[in-house]
A and B are shown apart, each in its own frame.
Chain A
Amino acid sequence: MSDILFTNARLIDPEAGTDAIGWLNVSDGRIVARGDGAQGPDAPDAERIDCGGKCLAPGIVDIGVKVCEPGERHKESYKSAGLAAAAGGVTTIITRPDTAPVIDTPETLEFVTRRAQADTPVNVLPMAALTKGREGREMTEIGFLLDAGAVAFTDCDHVVTNTKVFSRALTYARSCGALVIAHPQEPGLSNGAAATSGKFAALRGLASVSPMAERMGLDRDIALLEMTGAKYHADQITTARALPALERAKRNGLDITAGTSIHHLTLNELDVADYRTFFKVKPPLRSEDDRQAVIEAVHTGLIDTISSMHTPQDEESKRLPFEEAASGAVALETLLPAALRLYHAEQLDLPTLFRAMALNPAKRLGLASGRLSEGAPADLVLFDPDVPFVLDRFTLKSKSQNTPFDGQRMQGRVLATYVGGTPVYRRD
């Protein structure tokens, strides 16, 4: 494999927290050297890429991407998801098991791995269900699934309500060293809800859930972590009320991390406006106060990761009355431009964003990627943070185009994406 020398690049290093002009040398798919200054060393054998002062950052590691194979390939296939990821600067997608059928056996996991390898230019690492059929009754074959390549175990948006089942699964997972990802929510309160309780939901007459349901779910899970000592990640923390509990649990030394979704960081409940179903996500969009609190928690590092929570839905599942419409939004391609809104609003700097989008998710999953250090895989994204554009959803590479950002002004675009030193996307 040939060498590449990126020169005159604004290197975004989430480990060091730096954002400065430098050069980066890639050889055999790995980062072998880097340094300050625009020009870099003489390297006659290397392909020189002048980045023109644009940003070069570690590729995004996205935990919780739904690819609809098996079952609903018309919504998203490995091929389309891979193209979307590459175009969005996402170099590793961590797929969800909430397909039909559920990925809960080594056999279905192997099917997925095979499909992903055949069709996808980016790294795909699958998650498996924690309980069979995501039904919350019996744990899956966690050991076999780990051997087959599962990187984490999750029932996605299904909460394991039976605490005995959940505590056993956590205990067993701990013995295997497996990471469990849960959806902190009290389902007794949240079932059937399409919006967050408040003036807006009341005005629109939508069934709603108190933000307290998230804290109750998190509190329960934290208690079970104290009992079992398991390795745990909360998929989405979206409310201010849940943050003190998370902070305490971390301070008490529990093995807990938490993520949030790009939509909860950049949109609030009022964006639903006149029942726009592309804004229906799970958990529902929150108040502006919650959004600000969550941004601050990403800033301090209390919330570790930002995910796209990429959830393709076809037009039929969205063109329904709000309460009947399906939840979720596609976001592989819009994750970075949306995240850059927080950069342009001067709320989060670029190293902090890439800490949450690349470094922390990679660390949590034990991957060597997500950083610009020597020896790390050359999974890289080159982007221009400033170029403005208006998003047209029909230009997205996903098979489903249910994005809430349709028609919105965005700023920042991916110029090229590299996986293991190989270009997988280049913007013309």
Chain B
Amino acid sequence: MRFAHRHLLGIEQLSPHDITAILDLAEKYVELNRQSAKHADVLAGLTQINMFFENSTRTQASFELAGKRLGADVMNMAMQASSIKKGETLIDTAMTLNAMHPDLLVVRHPHSGAVDLLAQKVNCAVLNAGDGRHEHPTQALLDALTIRRAKGRLHRLNIAICGDIAHSRVARSNLILLGKMENRIRLIGPPTLVPGQFAEFGAEVYDDMREGLRDVDVVMMLRLQKERMDGGFIPSEREYYHRHGLDGEKLKLAKPDAIVMHPGPMNRGVEIDGTLADDINRSVIQEQVEMGVAVRMAAMELLAHNLREAA
């Protein structure tokens, strides 16, 4: 299998074929991860550096675990606490990194486009672990794998993405990926959080959640990104929950076998009812976390394969 990309910066650059290839390979790692001996050695001898310019526990842990299970030497750099506070620019950081000769660089940054910028300046393969409100490709891939396993296919599904679309890189990456795989996408949320221009991406936009959820196969909830809001997008959390939070009653409008997803971490009682999130018959939220590790292993294997070929 040829994966014709040096980096994984976004879903935008991937073809449907690329996406399918990553998901197929990830299936193999789902099996591996469920065994007691979880080791593979495809990254043996390679150095993986996780650079997080923004706080993250889950994504960082997932990448770390993925790298370790594939045999890479993994190092975490908590950048929000370090040199950028001392005035070092992103380019300086890239130069410093080049001198350390990493092979895989996993980057999260609070600004859109910052990971692209870094990728232009470093000599290794870069994986985007989320940049500003731009893209979060591995999240979209793990969501796709979760959907494919639950629904048996990844096309011609009605998928609702609900909540804070404006501030969400997860929503952008999912919108692009699910669109490429020819699904019907609905974006549901208050108009302050779902700006009109998203209709231009070929999605249907709904303010009314009850109307939007009708007959969907997948309900994807998003976290209300309180930290990215500079004031006044919604009147209050309780009104948001009432109108746009997912509860059992609203979910009844979706197809009876519709699955519920959330990228985590959840604000229970704000965007999703706690009991519903824990309902193993509807919620695949735990499965999403599991698929995350597998998808990241697959993506890193493909990029590492290219690295070794180039060497």
Q: Are A321 and B135 in contact (CB under 8 A)?
A: no
Q: Which of A198, A201, A275, A316 has the most CB of B within 10 A?
A: A275
A244 to chain B, nearest CB (A): 22
Ordered by A's residue number, 15 sampled pairs between the chains whose C-beta atoms are within 8 Å are: A197-B197, A202-B172, A202-B200, A203-B12, A205-B172, A275-B112, A275-B116, A319-B89, A321-B90, A321-B111, A321-B112, A321-B114, A322-B111, A322-B113, A323-B113
Contacting residues, chain B, for A202 (C-beta < 8 A): 172, 195, 197-198, 200-201
Contacting residues, chain A, for B109 (C-beta < 8 A): 321
Instruction: A206 to B113: give the CA distance in the assembly, Å.
Output: 9
Q: Does any Cβ of A come within 8 Å of B280's Cβ?
A: no
Q: List which B205-247 residues lie within 8 A (CB) of chain A.
A: 230
Q: Does any Cβ of A come within 8 Å of B91's Cβ?
A: yes
Chain B residues with a Cβ closer than 8 Å to the other chain, count: 24
Q: Does any Cβ of B come within 8 Å of A177's Cβ?
A: no
Binding site for A on B (CB under 8 A): 12, 89-91, 109, 111-114, 116-117, 131-135, 169, 172, 195, 197-198, 200-201, 230
Q: Are A192 and B89 in contact (CB under 8 A)?
A: no
Can you list, as one digit per residue, whether each of A307-335 has a CB less than 8 Å from chain B (1) or not (0)? 00000000010011111100000000000
Q: Are B89 and A275 in contact (CB under 8 A)?
A: no
Q: Are B198 and A204 in contact (CB under 8 A)?
A: no
Instruction: A205 to B130: give the CA distance in the assembly, Å.
Output: 11
Contacting residues, chain A, for B197 (C-beta < 8 A): 197-199, 201-202
Q: Which residue of B has the minimal Cβ distance to A202?
A: B197
Q: Which residue of A has the minimal Cβ distance to B12?
A: A203
Q: Does any Cβ of B come within 8 Å of A42's Cβ?
A: no
Instruction: A197 to B166: give the CA distance in the assembly, Å.
Output: 12
Binding site for B on A (CB under 8 A): 192, 197-199, 201-206, 274-275, 316, 319-324
A-B residue pairs, 5 tightest by C-beta? A275-B113, A205-B134, A205-B133, A321-B111, A321-B114
- Among A199, A320, A323, contact of B112 (Cβ-Cβ < 8 Å): A323
> How many Cβ-Cβ contacts under 8 Å join chain A to chain B?
64
Contacting residues, chain B, for A203 (C-beta < 8 A): 12, 172, 201
A220 to chain B, nearest CB (A): 22
With A197-B197, A203-B172, A205-B134 known as contacts, the answer to whether A323 contacts B89 (CB < 8 A) is: no
Q: Which residue of A has the minimal Cβ distance to B110?
A: A321
Give chain B's interface secondary structure class: mixed
Instruction: A205 to B128: give the CA distance in the assembly, Å.
Output: 14
A350 to chain B, nearest CB (A): 38
A124 to chain B, nearest CB (A): 34
Contacting residues, chain A, for B200 (C-beta < 8 A): 198-199, 202
Q: Which residue of B has the minimal Cβ distance to A274?
A: B116
B247 to chain A, nearest CB (A): 29
Give chain A's interface secondary structure class: loop
Q: Which residue of A has the minimal Cβ distance to B168?
A: A205
Instruction: A197 to B225: give the CA distance in the assembly, Å.
Output: 20
- Among B89, B113, B195, contact of A204 (Cβ-Cβ < 8 Å): B113
Q: Which of B89, B111, B113 has the most CB of A within 10 A?
A: B113
Contacting residues, chain B, for A321 (C-beta < 8 A): 90, 109, 111-114, 117, 132
B28 to chain A, nearest CB (A): 32
Contacting residues, chain B, for A320 (C-beta < 8 A): 89-90, 117
Contacting residues, chain B, for A324 (C-beta < 8 A): 111
* Extra inter-chain contacts (9) besides given A202-B197, A206-B113, CB under 8 Å: A197-B197, A199-B197, A203-B201, A205-B112, A205-B135, A206-B133, A275-B112, A316-B89, A323-B132
Q: Which residue of A has the minimal Cβ distance to B133?
A: A205
Q: Which residue of B has the minimal Cβ distance to A206?
A: B112
B129 to chain A, nearest CB (A): 15
Q: Which residue of A has the minimal Cβ distance to B53?
A: A321
Contacting residues, chain A, for B201 (C-beta < 8 A): 199, 202-203
B187 to chain A, nearest CB (A): 11
Instruction: A319 to B169: give the CA distance in the assembly, Å.
Output: 23
Q: Are B112 and A204 in contact (CB under 8 A)?
A: yes
Contacting residues, chain A, for B89 (C-beta < 8 A): 316, 319-320
Q: Are B195 and A197 in contact (CB under 8 A)?
A: yes
Instruction: A204 to B169: give the CA distance in the assembly, Å.
Output: 10
B37 to chain A, nearest CB (A): 40
B93 to chain A, nearest CB (A): 12
Instruction: A205 to B131: give the CA distance in the assembly, Å.
Output: 9
Q: Are A275 and B172 in contact (CB under 8 A)?
A: no
Q: Are B113 and A274 in contact (CB under 8 A)?
A: yes
B202 to chain A, nearest CB (A): 11
With A204-B134, A205-B135, A205-B172 known as contacts, the answer to whether A322 contacts B198 (CB < 8 A) is: no
Instruction: A18 to B219: give the CA distance in the assembly, Å.
Output: 66
Q: Which residue of B has the minimal Cβ distance to A322?
A: B113
Q: Which residue of B has the minimal Cβ distance to A276?
A: B113
Instruction: A204 to B197: give the CA distance in the assembly, Å.
Output: 12
Instruction: A274 to B201: give the CA distance in the assembly, Å.
Output: 18
Contacting residues, chain A, for B117 (C-beta < 8 A): 275, 319-321
Instruction: A135 to B109: give the CA distance in the assembly, Å.
Output: 32
